[in-house]
Amino acid sequence: MRSIFRFYITPLFTLLTYLFGAAVATAAPVDGYPNRTVKLVIPYTTGAHADLLARTLAQKLSEMWKQPVVVENKPGGGGSIGTLAGARAAPDGYTLLMSALGQLVIFPAMQKVPPYDVVTDFEHVVPLIRTPWVLYINNNLPVNNVKEFIAYAKSKQIGMNGATTGIGTTQHLANVLFAKAGGFKSEDIHYAGSAPALQDLIAGRDDFMFDSLLTRKYVADGRLKALAVSSAQRSPYAPELPTMIESGLPGFDVSVWFAILAPSKTPSDIVAKVNADIRQAMSSKDVQDRLSAASFEYIYNSSPSEFSTMVKREHERWTKVVREAGIKSE
């Protein structure tokens, strides 16, 4: 009888030991996390609004975690260098990535061989902010709203010139969607950034452009007209501007969003902790006060699974837009 008892108890004890050990191993990654420096990689230069967002968040997380959170700027390659570095980092929670729609979704869709896949190469931690574009036009055009602009554009046999901040930017895709939805001819004129594009728009060499809410300063001094925002809802920073949808273009919704991601296979408990802590950080008054001048709209109240659903939807939508428009990286 004793030997039979030993026969059954030994495997049972082994099984319980294994299960307990597995539970401890599962919990171990988040226990005490973080206990050393965390690196936040961003594919942007210092001084940009994205850099302000990253450094504001990093400072707050440093205070909360009692560990340094260091921002590492890795610009270049249309944002692919920094984004790829985030994907290839060790999946231990000590390297996080802050990137945006353009770098995560649109840039890979333009490549014959994409350097990374936003759906499979990352853990989707939490979205942070989004910001719409505003449709600006040259002040001398004899129109004052989107419907009048479309009618005017259709009357121009040579078509309209739409300025962009570069091939494959969300401003470029907004131009493409606008011309398609409005049914008018348009040629995209690409610039290396917003400043030279705005210069030519103000001078009348271009007819329209999608750019940030901050460009409204040129509306105030009479050099441009602002017709609508590109998001599905009106912006709280410019409530007087209708949406493109309200202006007669159903489904028109182009917003830029920024988010935090981690390398694929980062433990789910670390992802959950970072998500919860960032949501707490982003909701704090001092963070929002520091970011108030940038006209950000906050979208951080999402779980990792909710954010993952958003990423998959955005990936499918914008990949289709890029391919149908035949946009390729030069």
DSSP per-residue letters across 213-249: GGGGHHHHTTSEEEEEESSSS--TT-TTSPBTTTTT-
User: Is it true that the peptide bond before 34 is cis, omega within 30 degrees of 0?
Assistant: yes
Residue 60: per-residue pLDDT: 98
Beta strand 208-211 pairing with 160-164: parallel
Residue 196 has pLDDT above 80, yes or no: yes
Q: Which fold has domain 37-130+258-325?
A: D-Maltodextrin-Binding Protein; domain 2 (3.40.190)
Task: Report the candidate in 48, 74, 87, 268 with the shortest Cα–Cα distance to residue 165.
Answer: 48
Q: Look up residue 243 and give its DSSP letter.
A: B
Q: Does 17 have pLDDT greater than 60?
A: no
Instruction: Please state which of the four CATH numbers 3.40.190.10, 3.40.50.2000, 3.40.50.150, 3.30.70.1450 is assigned to the domain occupying 134-229.
Output: 3.40.190.10
Q: At which residue do the structure tokens 């853990």 appear?
A: 123
Q: Given this model, what pLDDT does residue 105 score?
A: 96
Question: Cα–chain-centroid distance for residue 66?
Answer: 28
pTM of the model as a whole: 0.86
Contact between 34 and 94 (Cβ < 8 Å)? yes
Q: How confident is the model at residue 29 (pLDDT cuts 50, 70, 90)?
A: low
Q: Quote the pLDDT of residue 330.
A: 67
Comparing C-alpha atoms, which of 39, 108, 52 is closest to residue 79?
Answer: 108
Within the chain, all domains assigned CATH 3.40.190.10 are found at 134-229
Q: Report helix, strand or coil for 44.
A: coil
- pLDDT, the chain, mean: 90
